[in-house]
Amino acid sequence: MTKKIVIIGAGPGGYVGAIKAAKMGAEVTIVDKDKVGGTCLNRGCIPTKALLASSDVLTNVKEAKDFGIMIEGEVKPDINFMMDRKDKIVERLVNGIEFLLDKNNVKFVKGCGRITDKNHVEVVKDDNSIEELEADAIIIATGSLPAQIPIFPYDGKKVIISDEALNLREIPKSMIIVGAGVIGCEFGMFFNNLGTSITMVEMMDHALPLEDKEIGREMEKVLKRKKIKLLLKSKIEKVEKTDAGVKAILDNGKEIQADMMLVAIGRKANTSDIGLEQLGIAMDRGRILVNEYMQTNVEGIYAIGDVVPGPQLAHLASAEAECAVENILGNACKMDYRAVPRGVFTDPEVSGVGLTEEEALAEGYSIKKGDFAFRALGKAQAMGQFFGKVKIIADKKTDRLLGASIIGPHATDIIHELVVGVKYGLTAEQLGKVIHSHPTLSEAVMEALQDVNGQSVHKL
Among candidate residues 197, 259, 206, the one with its CA nearest the CA of residue 229: 197
Strands (E), 45-170: 107-110, 112-117, 120-124, 130-134, 137-140, 144-146, 159-160
| Cα dihedral across residues 96, 353, 415, 194: positive or negative | positive
Given a cut of 90, is residue 147 above it in pLDDT?
A: no
Burial 189-223 (b: 16+ CB within 10 A, else e): bbbbbbebbbbbbbbbebbbeebbbbbbebbbebb
pLDDT score, position 357: 98
- What fold, for 342-451? Enolase-like; domain 1 (3.30.390)
Can you tell me the mean pLDDT for 19-30? 98
Q: Is 408 annotated as contributing to ligand binding?
A: no
Indicate if the pLDDT at residue 203 is higher than 90: yes
Q: Is 143 annotated as a binding residue?
A: yes
363 appears as a binding residue in the annotation? no
The CATH class that applies to domain 159-265 reads alpha beta
Query: Annotated binding residue at 75?
Result: no
Burial letters for 237-246: b for 16+ Cβ neighbours within 10 Å, e otherwise?
A: eebeeeeebb
Average of per-residue pLDDT values in the chain: 96
Find, among 143, 150, 177, 173, the residue nearest to 161 by Cα: 177
CB 145 within 8 A of CB 308: no
Cα separation, 265 vs 181, whole angstroms: 7
- Mean pLDDT throughout 147-170? 94
Q: Is 197 annotated as a binding residue?
A: no
The pLDDT value recorded for residue 193 is: 96
- What are the tens digits of pLDDT across the range 106-139? 999 999 999 999 999 999 999 999 999 999 999 9
Coil, strand or helix: which one is 258?
strand
The span from the CA of 367 to the CA of 353, in Å, is 16
Q: Per the residue annotation, which of 315, 410, 438, 458 is the catalytic one?
A: 438
Q: Which CATH superfamily is domain 4-145+268-328 in?
A: FAD/NAD(P)-binding domain (3.50.50.60)
pTM of this structure? 0.95
CATH 3.30.390.30 location in the chain: 342-451
Q: How many helices (H) and strands (E) does the chain have?
A: 15, 25
Residue ranges of the chain that CATH labels 3.50.50.60: 4-145+268-328, 159-265
Residue 460's pLDDT is: 87
- The proportion of the chain whose per-residue pLDDT surpasses 70, expressed as a percent, equals 100
| Averaged pLDDT for residues 199-203 | 97
**DSSP at 427:** B
Q: Is 438 a catalytic residue?
A: yes
- DSSP secondary structure letter of residue 3: P
Three-state DSSP state, 400: strand
Count CB atoms within 10 A of the CB of residue 290: 24
pLDDT at 1 over 80: no
